[in-house]
Amino acid sequence: MLHYAPIAATVAGEPPEIFPFLGTSRLEEPLTRYPVHAVIHGHAHKGAPEGALSNGTPVFNVAVPLLREHYPDRPPYRIIEVPLPDA
């Protein structure tokens, strides 16, 4: 869980001049170095709800204004199922 976006895809829709204040691609490298199942962030209220890291790991923008705009018929939260580790 992050405050800032690790990819540009989930801030797309925000004014490009404020992208540096919404996240940084430098956050992606540690996320791809370890077995991460999903990335969750907020902060980008006009961004996109979903994207993916370069290795395909899903990235979810869960900013409440964004969720209300994109999914007006649902409550403003996401439920994400993460697989259990092998025993």
Token pair, residue 35, equals 């077995």
Mean pLDDT on 7-13: 94
* pLDDT-above-90 percentage for the chain: 86
pLDDT tens profile 37-75: 999 999 899 999 999 999 999 999 999 999 999 999 999
Q: Parallel, antiparallel, or unpaired for β 50-52 and 58-61? A: antiparallel
Q: What is the pTM of this model?
A: 0.90
Check: CB of residue 37 under 8 Å from CB of residue 57: yes
* Residue 83 pLDDT: 80
Widest pairwise Cα distance in the chain = 47
pLDDT of 87 over the 70 cut: no
